[in-house]
Each structure stands twice: as C-alpha cells, then as structure tokens.
Amino acid sequence: MESSATNLQDKIDTDEKALKKLFDDTSISDMYDRIEKVVRVGKRASKPRPLRVVAVSADVVERVMRAKSFLRNSDLLVDWDLTVKQGQQKNDILIELNQRKQNGEKFGLKYSEGVARIVQLKN
C-alpha cells in the first residue's frame, strides 16, 4: 500500500520498510542490503503506483525473481521492469501459449533474465 504521508522522506521510509518486510517474509532477507534504490513510478492515482527497485547486481535481481513464487498469496506482485518492446514480445508469447493450451498441448513459460519463452511441460 502506498503511503499517504505528505513528506517525501516519510514516503520513502514507508516504501523501504515495506520492501524490507517483503524480503524478511521470504527466503531473500539477506539481499535487502544489496538494494540500491526504491522509487515510486508514475503519477499518484486511485491505485498504488508500482515500486521500482534497483539492485546493485544482476544476481540480486535473479534471486528476487526466483523467490517471487513465495508471494503468490500476498497482495504484492513482483515482475520484471520491461521495455515497451519486451512487453509486446511477452504479450505475443502469451497469445501463442494460450492458443497451444487450447489445442490441448502442454506448454508453459520459462523466464531467463526477464525474457519469456515457451517450453514443453513434463508429464
């Protein structure tokens, strides 16, 4: 949930505490010290703005993304920060995946460094 504080530093502190709690609740609590910056993206609206989290290295990002499955029952969504082109590619892949599933084929998505690809699922 986005802070309703008026002071910028209070908002930043609230976001950082929420991120720290998220990390502590999963298997990545040791990664919090390797976060460089936490920033709200976009203009304030009726729904909370996304948080952009900048890590010091790619291995931190990989660990966070691997741990995101632990958050499925929470009110938080963790996802890659995609460019417009990457977002369009992801949408195209999802359309193809859904068509294959409708045809009865068993396929799923696998992500590697933020890039989705279709893989055949094992029985």
Identify which has the larger pLDDT, 33 or 70: 33
Identify which has the larger pLDDT, 1 or 35: 35
Same domain, 52 and 97: no
The reply to whether 2 falls in a domain is: no
Same domain, 19 and 59: yes
- Is the confidence at residue 30, as pLDDT, over 80? yes
Average of pLDDT values for 34-55?
Answer: 85
The reply to whether 78 falls in a domain is: no
Residues 6+ apart with CB under 8 A from 6: none
The count of structural domains within the chain is 2
Residues 6+ apart with CB under 8 A from 18: 1
The reply to whether 99 falls in a domain is: yes
Same domain, 20 and 67: yes
Average of pLDDT values for 27-53?
Answer: 85
User: What is the span of the domain harbouring residue 116?
Assistant: 84-120
Average of pLDDT values for 26-50?
Answer: 84
d(C-alpha 97, C-alpha 94), whole Å: 5
Question: How confident is the model over 65-118, as pLDDT tens digits?
Answer: 888 777 666 666 777 777 888 888 888 988 999 998 899 888 888 877 667 788
> How many other C-beta atoms can be found within 10 angstroms of the C-beta atom of residue 38?
16
The pTM is what?
A: 0.61
